[in-house]
Structure 1
Amino acid sequence: MATTVNTAPPKSTNTGKLILKKVVFPLGLAFLIIFCLAPALWQLLTSIKVNEAIAAFPNVYFPRPDQYTLQHYQDVLFRRPFLRYTLNSFLVSMISTLLALALGAPAAYALARLRLRGEQILLGTVLIITLFPFVLVFLGLLEIMQIFRLGNNYLALIIPYTGINLPLTILVMRSFFLQLPKDLEDSAKVDGYSTWNMLLRIVLPMTLPAMVTTGILTFISAWNEFIFALTFMTREEMKTIPVGTAQLGGATTFEIPYGAIAAATVMGTIPLVLLVLFFQRKIVQGLTAGAVKG
């Protein structure tokens, strides 16, 4: 007589998986979102609250309708050269990004396609430099800036930012070059293209999404940098957004303008938020390729 074997999973297992899927995972995701966005929401609310609501005790988390104001944004825009700060940040970040791409793309292509002596040593060196804390070279950079008299000069920020972001540019771009089919390059060589012409006319146009991804990462890094900008730029009209925001002063020496600082923080963050939201898929693609293929 044949016996029937019950292969159905226990009900307790199904119930546990259902609880994880329907309860634990959504709660964990909601907590993660709140944890990440709460500081940004607090800055936004602080930037539109009147000073009385900001200084109130206990804290006023969500102000009443009569406690909202745009005065902090007006103070930042019209009493301080915030637009000049924005222009300085954009200029330094954009030029350093273009230089990092112009120098990093050929280097990445050479590491991906050419047979070089000590290639693994070069890759290891680039990786170590990427992980190196650049604040440790601060004193050396300060002496170099004093020798060449580059203080209060855009080059004082463009050169360090380019050097800091160059290793990451090489690693990410190399991972994309490795994904390209070599048959296309072999066909170009048969047609008489030199390595340089093939890189400019064929390879780089095909890796334009990779260059955009790498450029965004480099731009954000340069935009948010604070230590070098604080030290090498002392003139008011040469400061960048992080430095200008940190040095906002109140009506008196002992007053901290929390509302104005929050307003400057929000306005300085909006361009990066829009940039990341617009190119978020390309950023994830670039980081994933660099992690797997690099």
Structure 2
Amino acid sequence: MRRATGRRQLPEPLRAVNVVGVLAGVGFLLPLCWLVVGAFKSPNDLARFPPVLLPDPPTLENFRTAFVDQGFTGFLVNSMVVGLLSTCCVIGLGIPAAYALGRTTMTGRTSILVGLLIVSVFPVIAVVPPLFVILRAADWLNSYQALVLPYAAFNLPLAIWIMRGSFLSIPREMEESAEVDGASTLRTVVQVVLPQAMPGIFVAAVLTFVACWQEFLMALSFNTAADLQTVPVGISLFGGGFELPYGTIFAASCVALLPVVVIVVLLRRWIVGGLSSGAVKG
């Protein structure tokens, strides 16, 4: 008699899909690995053909050039300020909107959700010229608010959708119990609903911050002053008309990836839990 194993065997088609997924993942990681290795190579090693796999010897000169000669620290500070301010605006505005769309029977809810979905997929390049004219008229070019307000507007629809799904996954009986105990609507939302919806709120905050951190077109168009440029714009301006410092670009790109990698690696369980919460409701 065959002994039952504790692990269920996958069908052959699913095994093939897993193998393809692993190979695709390796393919996506290869450029990232080459980026990290290239950041520690000297210009001579980067110019070799055929290319060498490992730096010999490793050097930190590319990082020194990025931070000392190119002023990369300022770009990091600007990206951090813009990303955090935009994320706070999105979460602050998105929580009441998501709660209203998910927990109440407001009129026109479906139309609002469809409108938010359309806005979330609208091409950014189509609104850059009118936004530029508006910001110039308001004398907001070359300022933090020139990026914070558009970033918040473009990331708010997706955040509302994510947080709405998280609110929908919370049993209504919890709110009803709090109301029976005499809690007001505001107290019920703050002390009962929001703690249960934190995974979804956290995911919305992470996705918003990452989107703001890597956005390029609006940052290039609205902030041309060197002391207000963000990381993507700063990296794109490395070098001159006759030289492209690949090593410096690789080093700066590695540093720019660190916040995103740290967030995803350390908080991956929250991210997965927040994305899956409310997935079967809507």
**Residues in 1 aligned to 2:134 and 2:11: alpha-carbon distance in whole angstroms:** 61
Misfit runs of 4+, over 6 Å: none
Of the structure 1 ranges 71-80 and 26-35, higher mean CA displacement relative to structure 2 is found in 26-35
Which residue among 268, 272, 293 is the counterpart of 2:281? 293
The equivalent residue for 1:142 is 132
Which of the residues 154, 176, 180 maps onto 2:170? 180
TM-score for both structures, normalised by structure 1: 0.86
Q: Indicate if the aligned counterparts of 2:167 and 2:197 stay in contact, CA closer than 8 A.
A: yes
Counterpart contact for 2:168–2:278, Cα < 8 Å? no
CA distance in 2 between partners of 1:293 and 1:142 (Å): 40
- In the alignment, is the contact (CA less than 8 A) between 2:200 and 2:275 conserved in 1? no
Residue 114 to residue 155, structure 1, CA distance change in 2 (3 Å): same
- The answer to whether the 8 A contact 1:169-1:214 is kept is yes
Extract unaligned runs of 5+ from structure 2: 1-8
**How many positions carry a matched residue from both structures?**
274
**Conservation of the 8 A alpha-carbon contact between 2:167 and 2:278:** no
**What's 1:166 paired with?**
156
Q: Which amino acid aligns with 1:137?
A: V
Question: Tell me, which stretches of 5 or more residues in structure 1 are unaligned?
Answer: 1-16
Paired residue type of 2:118:
I
2:54 counterpart of 1:54: no
SS in 1 for 2:175: helix
Q: Which has the larger radius of gyration?
A: 1
Structure 1 position 216, deviation (Å): 0.6
2:24 corresponds, among 32, 35, 52, to: 32
Which residue identity does 2:83 align to in structure 1?
Answer: S
Per mean C-alpha deviation after superposition, the further-off stretch among 93-102 and 127-136 is: 127-136
Q: 1:67, CA displacement in angstroms?
A: 3.9
Partner of 1:127: 117
Contact 1:176 1:289 in 2 (8 A): yes
- Residue 245 of structure 1, CA deviation: 0.9
Q: Structure 2 matches for 1:4-153, cutoff 5 A?
A: 20=12, 24=16, 27-63=19-55, 66-153=56-143
In the alignment, what sits opposite 1:282? 270
Name the structure 1 match of 2:3: none
Select the residue among 189, 207, 213 that pairs with 1:217: 207
CA distance in 1, matches of 2:279, 2:173: 25
Confirm or deny: 8 A CA contact 1:107 1:170 kept in the other structure: yes
Match of 1:6 in 2: none
State the SS of the aligned residue for 1:293: coil
Structure-1 separation of matches of 2:175 and 2:220: 46
Residues 200 and 277 in structure 2, CA contact (< 8 A), matched pair in contact too: no
